[in-house]
C-alpha cells in the first residue's frame, strides 16, 4: 500500500490546517474507543463477549493513534519542515552577500543594554559574518524567523577597539577518597615507612576510602572582541582566523602596530603589505586547514579586485 501523498498543490497554511484537523479527528476517535472499551470491560461480566469487544476497542484506539502519528500526520510534518527550511534559505540568500561562507559562534558577552551595538547576539548560536558599509554584520545560519530586521545585527567598525585571543587551557588534578575515624597501628607503621608522617596518617586511617586522583582539563580560551566601557563579545577560539579574514585591521596586533606606526616618522614607516603577501598568508591558512577552499578563493578574488 502506498501512503505517499502529494502536497504540492496545497499552501503552507492549508497544510497546517490539514495536520490540525487530522490530529483532532484522530483524538476524538481514540477517546470514543477508549470510553467504549472501559464501559464494556468493567461494567459487564469479564468472560462475556462485550468484554472482548471492549478489549478490541482499547487496542483499536492505540492502532488509530499510531496510524495517525506515523502514517497520516508524519508526512505532513516532513513537508512543512522542508518548506520551512526552503523559506529560511531564501531569507538567508536575500540578506547575506553572495559567496559569504565565513561564520562565527558566540560563546559569551557582557552586553545587556538593548540599545547597545551587538545586543541580541545569542550565546551558542552561529552567525554568518561579513563587512559592509563600515559595519560588521551578523545573521543566523539557521532558524525559521521571517523578520530579518530583528535577526540581522550590525556593529559599527568604529565601535570595535580590537579583537584578541584570551584565556588559557590548563590541567587540574583532583584527589578524592580518604576519611574514616579508626586508626590502624599496622597501617600507620607501614605508612610511616613508605611516606613518613603524612603516610602514617593516610594509611593508618581505617575505614577510609581509597584515595583516587583524576585529571580535569579546563579550557576558557576564546576570541574576545572588545569595545569601550569594558564591554566585550566572546567567540570560539578558532573564530580568530575568521575575523582576521573579515576585519584584519581590528586585530589587536595590527591595531597596536598601527599606533606604533603613527608615532614614527615617514622615513621609519614600513612599506604596505602587497596583495601577493596577503594571498600567501591566506594560502598558508588553507594549507593548515583553518579555512576552506571556497573561503580562500573568495578572499583571493577580493584582493585581486576580480
pLDDT at 183 > cutoff 80: no
47 Cβ contact list (under 8 Å, min separation 6): none
Q: What confidence category does residue 188 fall into, taking pLDDT thresholds of 50, 70 and 90?
A: very low
- CB atoms under 10 Å from CB of 85, counted, come to 12
Please state which of the ranges 7-21, 23-37, 141-155, 227-241 shows the lowest mean pLDDT. 141-155
Q: Is the pTM for the entire model greater than 0.95?
A: no
pLDDT value for 229: 85
Domain spans of the chain, in order of start:
12-94, 97-167+222-261, 169-219, 271-306
pLDDT at 11 > cutoff 80: yes
pLDDT value for 54: 83
Which helix (H) or strand (E) is 206 found in, with range? strand 205-206
Q: What's the CATH number of domain 97-167+222-261, 2.60.120, 2.30.29, 1.10.1060, 3.40.30?
A: 2.30.29
Mean pLDDT, the chain, rounded, equals 79
Which residue has cell 520551512?
84
Q: Which of 132, 126, 125, 122 minimizes the C-alpha distance to 98?
A: 132
The torsion defined by the Cα of 251, 255, 256 and 260, in degrees rounded to 10, comes to 150
Which residue has cell 552561529?
126
pLDDT at 193 > cutoff 50: no
3-class secondary-structure state, position 99: coil
Count the alpha carbons within 13 Å of 210 in the hemisphere toward its beta carbon.
3
pLDDT at 25 > cutoff 50: yes
Separation between Cα atoms, residue 44 and residue 52, nearest integer Å: 10
pLDDT at 238 > cutoff 50: yes
Residues 208-213, mean pLDDT to the nearest whole number: 75
Residues 241-256, mean pLDDT to the nearest whole number: 94
pLDDT value for 198: 46
Q: pLDDT, tens digit, for every residue of 116-132?
A: 777 788 899 999 999 99
- Bridge partners for 46 per DSSP: none
pLDDT value for 267: 53
**pLDDT: which is higher, 14 or 44:** 14
**pLDDT: which is higher, 144 or 65:** 65
Count the alpha carbons within 13 Å of 244 in the hemisphere toward its beta carbon.
19
Which helix (H) or strand (E) is 153 found in, with range? strand 153-156
Amino acid at each position: 500500500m502506498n501512503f505517499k501523498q502529494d502536497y504540492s498543490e496545497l499552501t503552507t497554511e492549508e497544510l497546517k490546517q490539514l495536520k490540525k484537523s487530522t490530529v483532532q479527528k484522530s483524538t476524538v476517535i481514540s477517546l470514543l474507543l477508549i470510553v467504549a472499551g472501559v464501559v464494556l470491560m468493567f461494567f459487564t461480566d469479564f468472560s462475556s463477549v462485550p468484554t472482548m469487544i471492549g478489549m478490541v476497542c482499547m487496542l483499536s484506539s492505540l492502532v488509530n493513534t499510531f496510524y495517525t502519528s506515523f502514517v497520516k500526520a508524519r508526512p505532513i510534518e516532513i513537508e512543512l519542515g522542508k518548506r520551512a527550511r526552503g523559506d529560511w534559505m531564501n531569507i538567508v540568500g536575500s540578506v547575506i552577500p553572495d559567496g559569504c561562507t565565513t561564520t562565527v559562534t558566540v560563546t559569551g558577552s557582557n552586553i545587556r543594554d538593548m540599545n547597545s551595538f551587538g545586543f541580541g547576539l545569542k550565546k551558542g548560536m552561529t552567525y554568518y559574518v561579513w563587512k559592509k558599509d563600515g559595519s560588521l554584520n551578523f545573521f543566523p545560519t539557521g532558524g525559521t524567523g521571517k523578520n530579518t530586521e530583528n535577526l540581522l545585527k550590525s556593529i559599527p567598525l568604529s565601535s570595535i577597539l580590537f579583537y584578541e585571543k584570551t584565556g588559557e587551557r590548563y590541567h587540574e588534578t583532583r584527589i578524592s577518597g580518604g576519611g574514616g575515624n579508626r586508626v590502624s597501628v599496622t597501617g600507620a607503621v607501614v605508612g610511616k615507612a613508605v611516606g613518613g608522617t603524612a603516610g602514617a596518617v593516610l594509611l593508618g586511617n581505617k575505614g577510609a576510602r581509597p584515595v583516587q586522583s583524576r585529571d580535569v582539563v579546563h579550557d576558557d580560551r576564546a576570541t574576545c572582541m572588545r569595545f569601550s566601557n569594558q564591554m566585550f563579545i566572546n567567540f570560539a577560539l578558532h573564530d580568530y582566523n575568521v575575523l582576521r579574514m573579515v576585519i584584519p585591521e581590528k586585530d589587536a596586533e595590527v591595531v597596536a602596530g598601527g599606533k606604533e606606526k603613527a608615532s614614527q616618522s615617514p622615513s621609519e614607516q614600513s612599506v604596505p603589505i602587497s596583495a601577493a603577501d596577503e594571498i600567501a598568508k591566506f594560502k598558508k591558512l588553507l594549507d593548515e586547514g583553518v579555512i576552506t577552499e571556497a573561503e580562500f578563493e573568495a578572499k583571493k578574488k577580493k584582493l585581486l579586485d576580480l
